[in-house]
Amino acid sequence: MKIPKFLFPYIFILFLISGCSERTVEFNELYDGDLSKIEKITIVDGSSGYSIIINSKDDISALIDEPNSATYTLTNIDKDEINGTLFGVAFYEKANHTDPVFTMTTNVTDHKVFESNADLATIFS
């Protein structure tokens, strides 16, 4: 089958569009669960290893409001290409659990890589 030459520009544009499938989401779309059920948050500084545990409902609510006001652009970057992190945050739905239900770093959450319009390192410092 021979493809008419006038279709090549359209095929080229289709390939470009299919490779650029980035989309913008909000924080609650990164986390599939119910943010109001979070009972504990741990934050680890990526450069020093210093960690903090937050158990207070008021502090958790205030902390979740910050990333909720930001937007996140999901990218096509492979998470294995990212080296190092400024911070790591783990969210727990039960305060006594050792396995978080959701984790995020500077620009990776679970298996999704994102760019944020907010300075998340400042939010989680």
Residue 16 token pair: 């470009």
The residue with greater pLDDT, 57 or 111, is 57
DSSP state of 69: T
pTM above 0.95, yes or no: no
Number of other residues whose CB lies within 10 A of the CB of residue 117 = 11
pLDDT digits (tens, 9 = 90+) for 87-122: 888 889 887 778 888 887 777 777 777 777 777 767
Amino acid at 38: I
Query: Which residue range forms the structural domain that includes residue 63?
Result: 22-123
16 part of a folded domain:
no
Residue 8 token pair: 């090549």
pLDDT at 62 over 80: yes
Give the percent of the chain with pLDDT over 70.
77
5 part of a folded domain:
no
Number of other residues whose CB lies within 10 A of the CB of residue 85 = 16
* Cβ atoms of residues 42 and 53 within 8 Å: yes
User: What is the pLDDT at residue 63?
Assistant: 85
13 part of a folded domain:
no
**Rounded to whole angstroms, how far apart are CA atoms 124 and 71?**
16
pLDDT digits (tens, 9 = 90+) for 16-51: 444 455 778 777 777 777 888 889 999 888 888 899
Q: What's the structural domain count of the chain?
A: 1
Full DSSP string of 14-28: HHHHHH---EEEEHH
